[in-house]
Structure 1
């Protein structure tokens, strides 16, 4: 195979952008656009007019059986990611899914099992993993340079979305249409990075507000308290209702503190670890000697989506290791589900023994009372576009 022939399911905001990058702009070496698919006639018409030479299908099964593709990108509403991926694996295709991996962990675990059985390349569009800032933070943490984790605080409230955004689609900001609010729509990248850089919390206690700022039924304001296996703690705060918002990540360890803000990294680095200083020091008020370091980062945000596509193509053609394996989608989603679950049950959510079935039952209760216009919603039509 010289080139990976990609199919795209869902020609909405993201699907259109991806198809143009690959087919018209040729930004992904080793990848061509073989076919696209959407059950919406208007979007199929757009594809026929703007993607010359690319086959256009109405249904995913037709695309899978066409013989025109080797891999598929799934860029549809969240609920349908796992089912379409499972069918693609059964059809012998490599799979790349848009984030989030799904809406509830039960379905994503089934998708991961299907991926493992297929032995196909499985990736997820966690494009923020290409950002040199987060790559450097991960390196500082995982190399041990920050020392043992003590605390993390991430305030990510610059996801402002007005009521007009929530009203822009009948499926948007509803339990039946999207499966949640800011956690499932705007925050999947941040929740993935939290896991990718620091590992998984052990348990979560959260407080979500539903429709606090907008006429919506899902969460638009979240504060979550995290506990890690080593006893470290964290606070995760996010909202779509604050303007101007904040994006500040602070990670404290034995060897100092990392702050990420405005795409810059500051590392207040202790000469010796705080624990060692505490053992040796006899002065009641002496702090560890600390140096302020501005951590240099090359590049401006990384290659983002193009970087994930390039890596996915190389993984298929050359066996390159995936930067964002599809199986990793379960981790950020588990944090998201646990935050919902803790609020719904008014109790701790234990991640290492999370009750996937009970979460699913509670979600179904909210779907049944969802205010989504059932006669308007069409799954696998609206792409998970501008989040």
Structure 2
């Protein structure tokens, strides 16, 4: 295959962003071959923007069976991601999905099984994995520079959103339309990075989600969660869309010191001797390990971001390049968000892996209650 022919499902804001990247020539080896959307208006705008060299379809099925594409980029609302991916695999297509992987892990697990059975290249748009800051953090942890991880703490409250933002669409911030709030809409990248950089496996979680706090919405917009890991470490995750000014501070503490990422900088308070070794040898009741404060050099900028993931997916299809963000890994961050909601709804600890059937049933209850509001705000 000399050229990778891509079809885009959903030509809203992100779909248009990706289409522009491909048609600009920024993605080597890729061609925008087709676009599908249920909106005739959006298809008309796309036709004016990209011309007749692109095929246009009113349904994903029509585009998938057209013979015009080799792979599909899914940029539709959250609930559709697994369904369209499974459909695409059945038609022998490669798949790249926008984040999040879906709304509930039960559906995403089915998508992952379909991907494995298909043998096709499956990726997810976790573009923050290309951010040099988080790549460096993962490198330091993976190499053992930080020692054994003992604590993580991420406060990410710089997602401020006004009521007018939520009023932009009747589907927004509803269980029926989005399936969640800050955890499913704003935080999928942080939830992925939390798992991807620390290499830790959660054991159980206890969360407190506030629904519609300071905003007239159905879903969670303020969350505080406490997680325990298999290795005995603990973690805290705090997020909000109603706090200003917000904070974005990620701390990872280990037996060899602590790394802090904040305000675009990374600092490493490195212990000359591991805490365990120091503690075993120290006879001073008030002694403390020698610590060196180091500013970690990180390349400027945020990396190639979305274009980098799109190029990587294309390269994986054309020449077997390893994926930066395999689609199957989308379930990890989603399970964290599902667990936080389930813990709140049941007012108890939630073990990993979560009870997927119970989460699904709890979500369906809220979707049914969501219907009257959906009609009222149209």
Q: TM (normalized to structure 2)?
A: 0.98
Q: Which residue of 1 aligns with 2:301?
A: 300
Offset, 1:200: 2.7
Structure with more relative contact order (C-alpha pairs < 8 Å, separation 6 or more): 1
Q: CA deviation at 1:299?
A: 3.6
Q: What is the alpha-carbon distance in structure 2 between the residues aligned to residue 168 and residue 145 of structure 1?
A: 46
Query: SS in structure 1 opposite 2:196?
Result: helix
CA drift at 1:374: 4.7
| Residue 31 in structure 1 maps to residue 5 in structure 2 | no
Structure 1: runs of 5 or more not aligned: 378-387
Return the offset for 1:144.
1.1
**What does residue 161 of structure 1 align with?**
161
Superposition pairs of residues 98-109 of structure 1, within 5 angstroms: 98-109=98-109
Task: Identify the residue that residue 382 of structure 1 maps to in structure 2.
Answer: none
Shift in Å at residue 47 of structure 1?
0.7
1:339 counterpart = 2:340: yes
User: Could you say what secondary structure the match of 2:182 adopts?
Assistant: coil
Q: TM-score, normalised by structure 1?
A: 0.95
1:277 Cα offset (Å): 0.3
Aligned to 1:384: none
Deviations 1:32-78 (A, max 9, x none): 10000100111001111001111111000010011111000000110
- Post-superposition offset of 1:372: 4.2
Contact 1:200 1:331 in 2 (8 A): no
Change (3 A) 1:100 1:372: farther
Separation of aligned partners in 2, 1:318 and 1:372: 49
**Change in CA separation of 1:241 and 1:376 when aligned onto 2, cut-off 3 Å:** closer
Shift of 1:126: 0.2
Superposition deviation, residue 26 in structure 1: 1.0
CA distance in 1, matches of 2:22, 2:181: 30
Provide the aligned C-alpha RMSD in A.
1.1
> Once the 2 structures are TM-superposed, how far is the Cα of residue 298 of structure 1 from its aligned partner?
1.4
Q: Secondary structure at the match of 2:5?
A: strand
Q: Where does residue 287 of structure 2 map in the other structure?
A: 286
Count of residues in Structure 1 that have an aligned counterpart in Structure 2: 375
Stretches of structure 2 that go unaligned for 5 or more consecutive residues are: none
Cα distance in 2, alignment partners of residues 271 and 373 from structure 1 = 58
* Residue equivalent to 1:146: 146
Partner of 1:356: 356
Shift >4 Å, 4+ stretches:
374-377
Tell me the distance in 2 between the aligned counterparts of 1:217 and 1:112.
Answer: 29
Aligned pairs for 1:234-245 (under 5 A) are 234-245=235-246
Query: 2:91 aligns to what?
Result: 91
Instruction: State the shift of 1:373 in Å.
Output: 2.2
What is aligned with 1:176? 176
Over 3 Å counting, the alpha-carbon distance change for 1:116 and 1:372 in structure 2 is farther
Give CA deviations for 1:315-365 in whole Å, capped at 9, x if unaligned.
Answer: 00110100000000000000000000000000001013x110011000000
Cα separation, 1, equivalents of 2:310 and 2:79: 23
Whole-angstrom distance in 2 between the partners of 1:113 and 1:374:
35
Structure 2 match to 1:380: none
State the secondary structure of the residue aligned to 1:22: helix
Structure 1 residue 211 displacement after superposition: 0.6
